[in-house]
């Protein structure tokens, strides 16, 4: 019975089993002393020429970064290639994270500029239609001045050194001779031309005579207020793009590159091409490399706050749209004022400029037919409603969306090291690369952001601030100071009241640094718990029986080492031998 159930293994089968076991052991030992995986990773990542990688591990006394007492698959030439590769890879990662921010600022700049130009074009057409439909006697000569007015306003919004007030007053100066000779005294237009001495005199005395009442001053003040905010917003978006562009071309120090190479590639020298850095280890290295960028955090937060408030000052409650639409009404009221005060204006002009109109006694009873804004002509009625119906909602949505996007990037420069580390490790993994070997957890202190804190960094020596970053930090601070001086009332604007229901109740999104708040990205940031330690290197304290500990950064490992029990070669040998015996028995 037993023979039928378990057939006997003859001597020939025993020899085959022993040979297979010996072959498996030799194969594992050969693989253990091979650099095949290192060569494969070297080629797949385009690190350098493949001939630099040795076939088998050996000792190389010239290693400067990946020092190891035992055999290594690396040499000095490979270390140089690793440094070049890790510099390139890190800058590419930084650029990938800044691209979204750069694209957001750039697209918003284009969108706002399009919005400005649309409003200017609409308001220009609105005013031109008023002159053509209601004041046809002066429209042909006045339209070039209308075009010049809105062209100057457009240049101002794009950053040109132009005064809005002077532009508005120049427009009214230029149309005063036309109004005087075609509306107030329609019989003398042939004797007084805009290019004559009389025309020059009328332009010069306009602000003293005040033929249009206070309407020029009112429209100048209204436009200057909202257009200045729009102009500053455009300049601010340009300034943000400058700062982001500087970070994309940041110079990684020699110590930083060495630290990165040790973190990313020194594990390869021991054949561990899949294991990833420990969470705290990666944070220390990245924070050391980006210590200069972290110094941008405070001026950047102020800059983001100003961007929000400038947006509200320019677009809040449809301020810009209403101001631009109001130009037509102010001009119409100004022309009506000039007509109703014709005799007084004529008497004053006659005394100052020496012109006697010799008008007939009943001349003031003859007036051109005027249609006010309250009763618009049919030709302009429909056009006056296009903007409120089709554009106001779009502008409001644009403002909301932009404010929401800005809030996400408020702590960008402090959060950048964490973002770069996110794809480098898995928090729950049992083992990770600690720089000098495989460890269960990173034991060194995790330092905070900023140059001052980085002096205690155990992984990267940080000496001074990068000159390029320092220069752009200075420029950003100067811009913030200029904005504060130009708009002293910006701090009174409540930003997130305008955002709406998009913010959750109890959110701290409306808490700016100016209000005395500190976010997780600043110098007093909250301490994440990583591998049983807080991010400042201490042990998590306090009574945690009721509250769960802070959630660690969302980071993960790609690859990683297998469980330690299956890393022993003899376990694999026994498993292989068992499979062979089962095959022979069957």
Indicate if 28 and 154 belong to the same structural domain: no
pLDDT tens for residues 159-198? 899 999 999 999 999 999 999 989 998 877 655 554 578 8
Indicate if 27 and 162 belong to the same structural domain: no
Asked if the structure places residue 376 within a domain, the reply is: no
Output 24 or 130, whichever has higher pLDDT: 130
Asked if the structure places residue 448 within a domain, the reply is: no
pLDDT at 407: 87
Indicate if 169 and 317 belong to the same structural domain: yes
Asked if the structure places residue 510 within a domain, the reply is: no
Cα–Cα distance, 290 to 211 (Å, whole number): 63
What is the arithmetic mean of pLDDT over 374-396? Answer: 49
Indicate if 95 and 1 belong to the same structural domain: no
Say if residues 132 and 332 touch (Cβ distance below 8 Å). Answer: no
How does residue 535 score in pLDDT terms, banded at 50, 70 and 90? very low
Indicate if 91 and 19 belong to the same structural domain: no
Indicate if 396 and 263 belong to the same structural domain: yes
What is the arithmetic mean of pLDDT over 341-368? Answer: 65
Asked if the structure places residue 170 within a domain, the reply is: yes
Domains held by the chain: number: 2
Indicate if 28 and 165 belong to the same structural domain: no
Biggest CA–CA distance in the chain, Å, is 144
Q: Which residue has the tokens 């701290």?
A: 508
Residue 332: Cβ-neighbour burial (10 angstroms; 0-12, 13-18, 19+): buried
Average pLDDT value for the chain: 76
How does residue 450 score in pLDDT terms, banded at 50, 70 and 90? confident
Indicate if 227 and 167 belong to the same structural domain: yes
The answer, yes or no, to whether residue 503 has pLDDT greater than 80, is no
Indicate if 315 and 398 belong to the same structural domain: yes
The answer, yes or no, to whether residue 321 has pLDDT greater than 90, is no
Q: For 132-136, 553-557, 564-568, which range has the lowest pLDDT when averaged over its residues?
A: 553-557
What is the arithmetic mean of pLDDT over 559-570? Answer: 38
Asked if the structure places residue 63 within a domain, the reply is: no
Asked if the structure places residue 509 within a domain, the reply is: no
Closest C-alpha to 366, from 339, 347, 346, 345: 339
How does residue 147 score in pLDDT terms, banded at 50, 70 and 90? very high
Bridge partners of 58?
Answer: 72
Indicate if 207 and 129 belong to the same structural domain: yes
The answer, yes or no, to whether residue 573 has pLDDT greater than 70, is no
pLDDT at 199: 84
Cα–Cα distance, 215 to 220 (Å, whole number): 8
Q: Which one of 479, 499, 519 terminates a domain?
A: 499
Output 179 or 362, whichever has higher pLDDT: 179
Say if residues 40 and 55 touch (Cβ distance below 8 Å). Answer: no
Residue 325: Cβ-neighbour burial (10 angstroms; 0-12, 13-18, 19+): middle
The C-alpha angle with vertex 415 and arms to 412 and 416, in degrees rounded to 5, equals: 80
How does residue 549 score in pLDDT terms, banded at 50, 70 and 90? very low
pLDDT tens for residues 132-145? 999 999 999 999 99
pLDDT at 521: 39
Say if residues 276 and 452 touch (Cβ distance below 8 Å). Answer: no
pLDDT tens for residues 399-445? 788 888 888 899 999 999 999 998 666 555 678 999 999 998 898 99
How does residue 492 score in pLDDT terms, banded at 50, 70 and 90? confident
State the residue range of the domain holding 303.
Answer: 83-360+385-414+457-499
How does residue 19 score in pLDDT terms, banded at 50, 70 and 90? very low
Asked if the structure places residue 512 within a domain, the reply is: no
Q: For 5-19, 39-53, 359-373, which range has the lowest pLDDT when averaged over its residues?
A: 359-373
The answer, yes or no, to whether residue 552 has pLDDT greater than 60, is no
Indicate if 21 and 135 belong to the same structural domain: no
Percent of residues, the chain, with pLDDT higher than 70: 69
Cα–Cα distance, 84 to 48 (Å, whole number): 9
pLDDT tens for residues 30-82? 345 689 999 999 988 889 888 889 988 987 667 889 988 888 999 889 999 99
Give the helix/strand (H/E) hosting 533.
strand 533-534
Indicate if 301 and 152 belong to the same structural domain: yes
Cα–Cα distance, 86 to 91 (Å, whole number): 8
What is the arithmetic mean of pLDDT over 342-371? Answer: 62
Cα–Cα distance, 554 to 540 (Å, whole number): 19
The answer, yes or no, to whether residue 572 has pLDDT greater than 60, is no
Asked if the structure places residue 52 within a domain, the reply is: no
Output 509 or 12, whichever has higher pLDDT: 12
pLDDT at 352: 87
What is the arithmetic mean of pLDDT over 354-372? Answer: 43
Secondary structure (3-state) at 259? helix
Q: For 20-29, 49-58, 247-256, which range has the lowest pLDDT when averaged over its residues?
A: 20-29
């Amino acid at each position: 019975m037993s023979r039928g159930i378990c057939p006997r293994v003859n001597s020939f089968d025993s020899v085959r089993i022993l040979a297979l076991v010996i072959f498996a052991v030799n194969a594992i030992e050969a693989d253990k002393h091979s650099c095949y995986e290192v060569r494969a990773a070297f080629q797949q990542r385009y690190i350098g020429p493949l001939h630099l990688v040795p076939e088998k591990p050996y000792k190389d006394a010239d290693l400067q970064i990946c020092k190891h007492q035992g055999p290594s698959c690396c040499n000095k030439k490979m270390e140089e290639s690793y440094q070049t590769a890790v510099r390139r890879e890190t800058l590419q990662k930084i650029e990938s994270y800044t691209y979204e921010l750069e694209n957001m600022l750039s697209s918003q700049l284009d969108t706002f500029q399009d919005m400005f130009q649309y409003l200017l074009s609409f308001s220009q057409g609105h005013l031109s239609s008023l002159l053509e439909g209601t004041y046809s006697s002066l429209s042909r000569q006045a339209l070039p001045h209308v075009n010049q007015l809105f062209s100057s306003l457009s240049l101002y919004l794009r950053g040109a050194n132009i005064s809005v007030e002077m532009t508005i007053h120049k427009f009214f100066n230029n149309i005063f001779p036309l109004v005087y000779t075609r509306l107030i005294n329609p019989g003398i237009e042939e004797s007084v031309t805009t290019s004559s001495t009389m025309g020059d005199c009328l332009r010069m005395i306009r602000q003293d005579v005040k033929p249009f009442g206070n309407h020029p001053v009112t429209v100048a003040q209204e436009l200057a207020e909202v257009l200045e905010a729009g102009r500053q917003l455009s300049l601010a978006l340009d300034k943000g793009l400058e700062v982001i562009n500087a970070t994309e071309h940041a110079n990684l120090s020699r110590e930083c590159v060495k630290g990165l190479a040790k973190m990313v590639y020194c594990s390869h020298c021991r054949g561990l091409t899949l294991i990833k850095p420990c969470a705290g280890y990666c944070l220390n290295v990245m924070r050391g490399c980006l210590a200069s960028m972290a110094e941008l955090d405070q001026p950047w937060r102020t800059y983001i706050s100003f961007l929000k408030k400038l947006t509200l000052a320019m677009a809040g409650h449809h301020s810009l749209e209403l101001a631009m639409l109001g130009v037509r009404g102010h001009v119409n009221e100004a022309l009506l004022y000039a007509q109703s005060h014709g005799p007084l204006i004529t008497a004053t002009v006659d005394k100052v400029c020496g012109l006697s109109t010799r008008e007939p006694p009943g001349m003031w009873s003859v007036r051109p037919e005027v249609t006010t804004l309250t009763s618009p002509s049919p030709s302009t009625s429909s056009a006056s409603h296009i903007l409120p119906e089709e554009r106001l909602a779009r502008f409001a949505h644009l403002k909301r969306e932009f404010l929401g996007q800005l809030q996400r990037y408020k702590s960008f420069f402090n959060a950048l090291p964490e973002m770069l580390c996110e794809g480098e490790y898995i928090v729950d993994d049992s083992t990770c690369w600690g720089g000098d070997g495989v460890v269960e957890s990173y034991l060194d202190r995790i330092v905070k952001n900023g140059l001052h804190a980085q002096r205690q960094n155990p992984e990267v020596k940080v000496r001074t601030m990068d000159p390029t970053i320092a220069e752009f930090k200075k420029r950003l601070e100067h811009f913030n100071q200029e904005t504060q001086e130009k708009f002293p009332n910006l701090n009174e604007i409540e930003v997130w009241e305008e955002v709406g229901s998009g913010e959750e109740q109890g959110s701290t999104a409306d808490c700016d640094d100016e209000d005395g708040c500190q976010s997780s990205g600043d110098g007093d940031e909250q301490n994440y718990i990583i591998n049983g330690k807080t991010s400042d290197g201490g042990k998590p304290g306090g009574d945690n029986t009721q509250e769960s500990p802070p959630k660690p950064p969302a980071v993960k490992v790609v690859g990683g080492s297998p469980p330690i029990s299956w890393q022993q070669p003899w376990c694999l040998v026994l498993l292989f031998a068992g499979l062979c015996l089962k095959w022979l028995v069957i």
